[in-house]
């Protein structure tokens, strides 16, 4: 997956987690929490969804890396670059 694919995948997961939010306006450099109504359960669900879809394990200490779209994609890139896009 390219960084663009990973971004799409994250958007898809966010869509299922926060169906009421407008995700078209997301600013990649700004923390999710500051632009979406996300709480710690939502972040846990993002991690679970990544595990379920791609078998990626994210240790609890690394959850902070998922703060914004930009940091998330940067963090996931080495973990997901060898995954085929479906």
Is residue 83 within the footprint of another protein (CB under 8 A)? no
Q: Is residue 11 at the binding interface for another protein, with CB under 8 A as the rule?
A: no
Beta bridge mates, 31: 68
- Measured between alpha carbons, how far is 32 from 43 in angstroms, rounded to an integer? 10
Residue 64 near another protein by CB under 8 A: no
User: Binding another protein by CB under 8 A: which of 22, 39, 61, 82?
Assistant: 39
Closest contact distance (angstroms) between CB of 3 and another protein is 26
**Under rule CB under 8 A, residue 48 binds another protein:** yes
Show Cβ contacts of residue 41 under 8 Å, excluding neighbours closer than 6 positions.
none
The label of the residue with tokens 């085929």 reads 84
């Amino acid at each position: 997956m390219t960084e663009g694919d990973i971004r799409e995948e994250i958007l898809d997961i966010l869509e299922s987690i926060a169906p009421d939010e407008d995700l078209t306006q997301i600013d990649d450099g700004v923390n999710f929490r500051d632009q979406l109504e996300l709480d710690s359960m939502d972040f846990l669900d993002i991690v679970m969804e990544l595990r379920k879809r791609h078998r990626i394990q994210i240790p609890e200490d690394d959850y902070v890396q998922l703060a914004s779209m930009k940091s998330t994609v940067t963090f996931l890139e080495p973990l997901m670059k060898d995954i085929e896009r479906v």
